[in-house]
Amino acid sequence: MARVQVVEAVRRRLGVVLAVALGLGALAACTSDDEPAGKPSGLTYLGDEVVDAEESLADADEMWRRAWPTWDQVVAVPDDSRCWFISDDGALQQQGVCGPFRGLGTRAAEWVQVQFTPEAPETGSVRLVPTGLAPVAPGVVRRSLTLVRADGEEGEWDPEVAQPKGWPRTLPAGPTETGPVRRYGAELVARGRVTVGGFVHTVRVVRPRGVQFADRSTYVPRKRQAFVDFRFVPFDSDRAVEAGLAFDQAVRAGEIKLRVSSGGRTWRGVYARPDGDGTATQGQASVVSPPAGLFVLPRWDDPTFTVAVGRQRYPVRLLP
């Protein structure tokens, strides 16, 4: 994926994070006159002592931790990815960075910019409150300066970051052996209703551009391939708990069967819960024997989708 696409994805997805961050800044501003001035850091901002630098970076780290999983693309983010001040011999800039990360198809590690807003707890000292994340603007972040944490640890601008795990892997045509815990760019392609245990469920078939599994391996379809994935949601929200219990019972009993036909070929399987690390939710299918849930079509050739519950069959109609 080209760098400009990565930047656009970052730009689209960071609006919610900015709102959360502004809330954090507002809370920080509503302090009492009796509040201690804060813990000195040995760093300065425009000549004033920076206090509570560890807390500032911890808040920025939390913003970053929440931001990147919401992006509509496959990225590799190292476990030690976090946010940094930018220091010019101990004098901090108003912009820092968070990362590193590496997008699908990009050649090197990348960063996002974190904006710090100065708030003065008393004359001569200042807190730097993180108030937003954004793509790195050309000329704003000076890579000639030093990345630094509150404890003095220095970072490197160009660390080695592996490609997103599993990329560029592809899956063979047919039903897969496991189900996704995350989808990228999922497009709704078919919709219908089924009755499971006396409760109506909406069944939707989505077509992701990429999928990620519990082990964080990521997959993208080959040039002509297409992923399709079945998702079930109770229709009556007031009885969602009861409907979910009935659905789980049907899943455990292997009563929900799926069928996909495309290009003269047909694949069948039994819907099942994921076996992953607990991050998946209802409707994210795993594969048992016979497998089903996530299917890979060799090409998108007017596919048909069918769900069977016991002996009852339900067509899932392709959207126009």
Tens of pLDDT, residues 38-73: 788 889 999 999 999 999 999 999 999 999 988 867
Read off the amino acid at residue 79. D
Calpha distance 157→135 (Å, rounded)? 16
What is residue 216's predicted lDDT score, i.e. its pLDDT? 63
Read off the amino acid at residue 111. W
pTM above 0.85, yes or no: no
Non-local CB neighbours of 8 within 8 Å, separated by 6+ positions:
none
Residue of 227, 240, 232 whose CA lies nearest to 300 = 227
The DSSP 8-state label assigned to residue 16 in this structure reads H
Q: Tell me what percent of the chain is helix, strand and coil, each rounded to the nearest 5.
A: 20, 40, 40
Calpha distance 151→54 (Å, rounded)? 8
Tens of pLDDT, residues 70-100: 886 778 899 999 999 999 999 999 999 999 9
Tens of pLDDT, residues 275-304: 433 333 333 333 333 334 789 999 999 999
